[in-house]
Structure 1
Amino acid sequence: MDIFSAGREFVRREARLVENRLFATVFEGADAAGVVEALRGYQNADGGFGHGLEPDKRCPDSLGLDVETAFDILLAAGARDAAMVGRAVDWLASVATAEGAVSLASPVIEAYPRAAHMSEWTYEPSLNPTAGLVGRLGKLGVEHPWVELAGAWCAEQLRAGLPTEAHSLHESLEYLEHAGAVDLDQVREWLPKLSYFRADAADPSYGVTPLHLAPTPDSVWAGLFTPADLEAHLDRLIADQQEDGGWAITWEPPGQAATLEYRGIVTVAALRTLKSYGRI
């Protein structure tokens, strides 16, 4: 079975409804409205998203990480729902600091199963996820007072320097693209300073790779890397497909269901990246 067919069978067999609807939209021409409808079950009355939409915590309460995941799914599907997104941004505004910053999670997750890395550090308002949220809302075409407030906070934080952790830099790049502040030379020189950046395609450890920063060849951040770098990581992505057709993950979710859910997420993402680079 070829790469795509094997991945498709894994998604159909093991992934959640929302990833199946996303797959159908991205690869089979299905109406993106199906993705929006699948997301509705994860949106709370307060406007935020929860219920383990990001599977590393099984908490039903609204969290910044789940809101960001919802925005990612909408963007991947090319879907727009102004009311759904507007309610989510209102929720972000309600939990933000006076300066507009939000956190990935909150102590409410401690009452539910969660991955070991979902702990106190995720409760601190930071560029991860604030910068990423602002950037994604820019792509969604959303105007809102919170976006302006949070964007100003992000700009102030980044004037002091880029973050030294790869996930935070990834989020910051979303904001910098939104703000039209793309400086490839600055970011390229900064990459060796990052923790959790997996520059070497042969490195099997957990980390952010060039394909996370530039998931499509027309990404503004693709210029950070040589064609050879990107090709090596594409080769590695293909090699990492498992015998069951899905892609594995390199961390420990809180249970078997969460593991399969995350494998569904990364499998759809891998297929999207390989398609965009012409590998499938």
Structure 2
Amino acid sequence: MDDSPRTRALAFLRTHARPLERRLGDLLLGEPHPVVSACAVLDLLSGHRNPDGGLGHALEPDVRAPDSQPLAADFALEVTELVLASQAGADEGVRDRVAAFARGLVPYLASVAAPDGGLPIVLPTVAAHPRAAHWGDGEFPPALNPTAGIVARLRAAGVADPWLDTAETFCRERIEALDDRPDGHTAANVLRFLAASPDQDWARPRLAALGGRLGELSLFQLYPGEGYGLTPVDLAPLPDNPLRAFIPDDAVAAHLRALAAAQCPDGGWPVPWEPPGPAAALEWRGVRTVRSAWILAAH
């Protein structure tokens, strides 16, 4: 019987995960009919849409609020990035559907952005609903996390819009004023923005400066360690990702070994923080299992 990490991961997803991660697992882990799976993933994302055009209803499992949140849009755009990176990403119809889905988020994002284009990661309305402790009272200022990552992913999806131009200017100005040691989440958003910037004369030196300081950042583990932190394979999951240029090969190898060793007996991966309830914990395990098994398969 096949007892590979991929097979065990798929078994976990089929037993424990929500439909979104089950279909995403089908897409990323080599099941047949990738275009059908990709369209199913986009349909499931659309099931979280609200009348304002945004997304909610616990799409990002740590925020159980039904109302729309920038965090949920960011989560969805990361999923569309995975769709485009899959076998189905070469299909023109899938690319058109991704673009339409991403374009549909823009009116909502523009409506909750500051006048200068910046987005907060969550809105204060999260405080009325169950949520992970790190979201507190939901009072967050507009910041590079999530604005820079959202801008980069919308551009990658083929979206053009006046608000997006304003948000891009916000990101450039904040990046130029960035201190030497942003936290790992901010750095990840900034690095994605810089790597995707069409103005590489401006972006390249800033990319090199921040990429060279990864080992100094809080909430980032250049090598495996205790506690929570983003890792090199979170930042640059595939071998051809341009951000790999800033990560030592032995750091990638160490994290791949740690990732493989972390697979649980049930085939899933654990969650290294405290979700707001048992449903959220299982949902996050599904999210992490899809991504972890995909990363390992790519290597």
TM bucket normalised to smaller: over 0.9
Q: Which residue of 1 aligns with 2:174?
A: 157
Say which of 243, 256, 261 aligns to 2:265: 243
State the shift of 1:121 in Å.
6.3
Say which of 103, 109, 114 aligns to 1:92: 109
Say which of 15, 22, 25 aligns to 2:24: 22
Say which of 80, 83, 87 aligns to 1:77: 83
Q: Which runs of 4+ in 1 moved over 4 A?
A: none
Pairing of 1:77-226 with structure 2 (within 5 A): 77-78=83-84, 79-80=94-95, 81=97, 82-120=99-137, 123-161=140-178, 164-179=182-197, 180=200, 181-183=203-205, 185-201=208-224, 203-226=225-248
Q: Which residue of 2 aligns with 1:63?
A: 69
Q: Secondary structure at the match of 1:28?
A: coil
Letter in 1 for 2:5: I
CA contact 1:47–1:84 (8 Å) conserved in 2: no
Q: Secondary structure at the match of 2:148?
A: helix
State the shift of 1:219 in Å.
0.5
Q: CA 1:122 to 1:250, structure 2 compared with 1: closer, same or farther past 3 Å?
A: farther
Pairing of 1:47-62 with structure 2 (within 5 A): 47-62=53-68
Q: Distance in 2 between matches of 1:85 and 1:208?
A: 25
State the shift of 1:77 in Å.
1.5
Q: Distance in 2 between matches of 1:251 and 1:115?
A: 9
Q: Distance in 2 between matches of 1:65 and 1:182?
A: 28
Letter in 1 for 2:50: N
CA contact 1:104–1:122 (8 Å) conserved in 2: no
Pairing of 1:251-270 with structure 2 (within 5 A): 251-270=273-292
Structure 2, unpaired ranges of 5+: 85-93
Q: Distance in 2 between matches of 1:147 and 1:220?
A: 23
Structure 1, unpaired ranges of 5+: none
Letter in 1 for 2:24: L
CA contact 2:118–2:167 (8 Å) conserved in 1: yes
CA contact 2:125–2:138 (8 Å) conserved in 1: no
CA contact 1:164–1:193 (8 Å) conserved in 2: no
Q: Which residue of 1 aligns with 2:250?
A: 228
Q: CA 1:146 to 1:258, structure 2 compared with 1: closer, same or farther past 3 Å?
A: same
Q: Secondary structure at the match of 2:135?
A: coil
The count of residues paired between Structure 1 and Structure 2 equals 276
**Any idea what the Cα deviations from partners look like across 1:245-280, whole Å, max 9, x if unmatched?**
100011001000000000100110101111222xxx
Q: CA 1:246 to 1:124, structure 2 compared with 1: closer, same or farther past 3 Å?
A: same
Letter in 2 for 1:36: L
Q: Secondary structure at the match of 2:192?
A: helix
Q: Distance in 2 between matches of 1:182 and 1:272?
A: 29
CA contact 2:127–2:138 (8 Å) conserved in 1: no
**Any idea what the Cα deviations from partners look like across 1:108-161, whole Å, max 9, x if unmatched?**
111111110012465221100000000111111111111111001100111113
Q: Output the TM-score relative to the length of structure 1.
A: 0.94
CA contact 2:71–2:146 (8 Å) conserved in 1: yes
Letter in 2 for 1:225: I
Q: Distance in 1 between matches of 2:63 and 2:208?
A: 37
**Any idea what the Cα deviations from partners look like across 1:59-82, whole Å, max 9, x if unmatched?**
011000100111111121224424
Q: Distance in 2 between matches of 1:36 and 1:16?
A: 14
Q: Which residue of 1 aligns with 2:87?
A: none
Q: Distance in 2 between matches of 1:20 and 1:192?
A: 34
**Any idea what the Cα deviations from partners look like across 1:83-124, whole Å, max 9, x if unmatched?**
332221111011111100011111111111111001246522
Letter in 1 for 2:77: F
Q: Distance in 1 between matches of 2:242 and 2:212?
A: 16
